[in-house]
Amino acid sequence: MTENAQTAAPANLQARAREIRILTLQAMGRLGHGHVGGSMSIAELLAVLYFAQMKVDPQEPSLRERDRLILSKGHCGPALYSTLALRGFFPLEWLDTLNRGGGRLPLHCDMNKTPGVDLTTGSLGLGLSAGLGVALGNRIQGIAALTYVILGDGEINEGQIWEAAMAAVQFRAGRLVAFVDYNRMQIDGTTEEVMDLGDITGKWKSFGWHVQRVPGHDTTALNDAIDAARAETELPSVIILDTVKGKDVFFAEGLVASHHMKFDLQQAREAVERLPGGKREGEI
């Protein structure tokens, strides 16, 4: 872990996830639309990675020895932007410019525009291959950093994901850690309806990966699973996260339609008020 025990305590990490939700709702509400479903389902994961696990320096976002995060489901960039802003990579005020002309926060992640974004993503299926390349490149250069990749469950319909999964085992990419945001929904319906994933845990095991499956909104379980993945130095690791699409947002939770929704600032305010913990001073 990269922070002191007090900062990384489960209660503090849950509070960080709540902040990520609030800032992301604010930014999307001002814009009038966004990929709220998938952004909300990874809030706890982002909180644990950036406030307890990852070796990063906001003052040196291109630090050679840093851990890297590839948000392969790059349409959920707004949640990552909120996290990066909270971590100090850029001012919180930038979040008001989400997807605005001349701004640096496009709806899909762009490493050429946003400090702290390690790969331009949005065309689904590419991130695991890129992450494998980064992990192998680090090994060649003698850099002991971790490479993390966040995949959507609908995204793993893409054949390239499984080509990368085979190659990662073949080349013993032990410092590669993938997460599957298993909220069971994608743009056109449930994963069962569109392309049934079947035994998702068994699939990854059959490809030779070190596999764990945890509740994706439990920061303690996430922390422990990442610790275990870091300890596995011979095989690539995948952590399957059982999550809820649109988690904690009253108008989006559990809805296929939350993949991308229109909503305004008033709805965002109401969603913030209804978040667990209630509205706090200074919130919209």
Would the pLDDT of 8 be above 70? Answer: no
Give the model's pLDDT for residue 9.
80
CA distance 91 to 113: 14
Give the model's pLDDT for residue 281.
44
Would the pLDDT of 6 be above 80? Answer: no
Would the pLDDT of 237 be above 80? Answer: yes
- Give the pLDDT band of residue 280 (cuts 50, 70, 90): low
Would the pLDDT of 283 be above 60? Answer: no
Alpha-carbon distances, residue 252 vs 58, 67, 153, 213, 283 (angstroms): 32, 32, 18, 24, 20
- Give the pLDDT band of residue 278 (cuts 50, 70, 90): low
- Listed by start position, the domains of the chain span 10-274
Q: Is 263 exposed, middle or buried (0-12, 13-18, 19+ CB in 10 A)?
A: buried
* Six token digits for residue 220: 């303690």
Interval 240-263 mean pLDDT: 98
Angle between helices 10-31 and 265-274 (to 10 degrees): 160
Residue at 22: amino acid letter:
I
Torsion of CA 85, 80, 248, 215, to 10 degrees: -120
Beta strands in the chain (DSSP E): 33-34, 68-71, 147-152, 176-182, 185-186, 189-190, 210-215, 237-242, 261-262
- Give the pLDDT band of residue 279 (cuts 50, 70, 90): low
- Give the pLDDT band of residue 20 (cuts 50, 70, 90): very high
Give the model's pLDDT for residue 11.
83
Per the CB < 8 A criterion, the answer to whether 1 and 53 are in contact is yes
pLDDT in tens, 167-193: 999 999 999 999 999 999 999 999 999
Per the CB < 8 A criterion, the answer to whether 244 and 254 are in contact is yes
Would the pLDDT of 209 be above 60? Answer: yes
Q: Is 47 exposed, middle or buried (0-12, 13-18, 19+ CB in 10 A)?
A: buried
| pLDDT above 90 as % of the chain | 93
- Give the pLDDT band of residue 5 (cuts 50, 70, 90): very low
Distance of CA 201 to the CA centre of its chain: 19
Give the model's pLDDT for residue 186.
97
For 276, list phi and psi in degrees, rounded to 5. Answer: -55, 130
* Six token digits for residue 62: 């291109």
Which long-range contacts link 226-232 to residues 24+ away (Cβ below 8 Å)? 226/48, 226/49, 226/53, 226/177, 227/1, 229/177, 230/53, 230/146, 230/177, 232/174
Would the pLDDT of 18 be above 50? Answer: yes
Interval 231-237 mean pLDDT: 96
What would the CATH number be for the domain defined by 10-274? 3.40.50.970
Would the pLDDT of 284 be above 80? Answer: no
**Is the pTM here over 0.75, yes or no?**
yes
Would the pLDDT of 1 be above 60? Answer: no
Would the pLDDT of 146 be above 80? Answer: yes
